[in-house]
């Protein structure tokens, strides 16, 4: 991810070198663990291109570049742990070989999957305590009534767990849009089943600021734009 314009603040330098987040860098600096040209660094200090930066006695070289992709997962493909003759993402899109899906999207669902090698963002993206939005378009087997929409919005008891309140918008006789901030296994399918509905199609179209859009073919990925990446990482608190 390195794209450094010198001089640069020390905490940003360590972030761009893929060593740690800017917040963690400030902690290292405050603890006296960071040196510039063999002198203890201070918060807010600038790094110049010829400077030698050390953290805890070691010169920090650039680690593996972090990359982030949106992938349009087709039906019938699993996001992790394929069994038998099941196809994984890497089987249909070889660029995913060194990447990991953040969160899952079951075999019978399709749409947006975020792929990356940046393990820093996993908990920050998936933990419900951060309230990050994931948006889905759903088609069910029979007409939607007012009770269904209200109940889906206010929480559904799925095997002893009541789901969090969420945004639900009816978009057709048998279709709706739902925005979740949690991700229980097969959550939307279980919510619908608890209310007497079966899902005919489930498509994820958004994760936070990342939109699937209409131009990305199924089975293909694209790298995040600079704007998408910066907004995502800033919201997740790793830059």
Catalytic residues: 106
CB-CB contact of 125 with 183 (8 Å): no
Q: Which residues pair with 137 in a beta bridge?
A: 177, 203
Q: CB 166: neighbour CB atoms within 10 A? A: 20
Burial of 32 (0-12, 13-18, 19+ CB in 10 A): exposed
Query: Can the peptide bond before residue 92 be classed as cis, meaning omega within 30 degrees of 0?
Result: no
Q: Could you tell me if 55 and 34 are in contact, meaning their C-beta atoms sit under 8 angstroms apart?
A: yes
Contacts with 142 (C-beta within 8 Å, 6 or more apart), sequence order: 174, 197
Distance between CA atoms of 87 and 97, rounded to whole angstroms?
13
Residues 6+ apart with CB under 8 A from 175: 137, 138, 139, 140, 144
- 3 state DSSP class of 5: coil
């Amino acid at each position: 991810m390195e794209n450094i314009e010198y001089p640069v603040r020390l905490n940003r330098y360590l972030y761009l070198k893929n060593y740690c987040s800017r917040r963690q860098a400030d902690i290292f600096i405050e603890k006296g663990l960071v040196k510039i040209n063999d002198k203890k660094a201070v918060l807010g200090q600038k790094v110049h291109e010829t400077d030698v930066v050390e953290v805890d006695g070691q010169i920090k070289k650039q680690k593996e570049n972090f990359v982030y992709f949106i992938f349009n997962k087709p039906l019938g493909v699993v996001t992790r742990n394929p069994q038998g003759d099941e196809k994984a993402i890497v089987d249909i899109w070889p660029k995913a070989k060194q990447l990991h899906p953040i969160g899952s999207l079951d075999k019978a669902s399709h749409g947006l999957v975020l792929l990356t090698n940046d393990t820093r963002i996993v908990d920050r993206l998936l933990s419900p305590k951060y309230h990050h939005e994931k948006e889905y378009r759903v088609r069910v087997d029979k007409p939607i009534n007012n009770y269904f929409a209200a109940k889906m919005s206010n929480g559904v008891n799925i095997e002893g767990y009541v789901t969090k309140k969420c945004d639900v918008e009816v978009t057709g006789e048998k279709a709706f849009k739902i925005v979740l901030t949690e991700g229980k296994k097969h959550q939307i399918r279980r919510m619908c089943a608890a209310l007497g509905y079966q899902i005919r199609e489930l498509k994820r179209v958004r994760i936070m600021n990342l939109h699937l859009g209409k131009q990305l073919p199924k089975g293909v990925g694209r790298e995040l734009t600079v704007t998408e990446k910066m907004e995502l990482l800033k919201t997740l608190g790793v830059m």
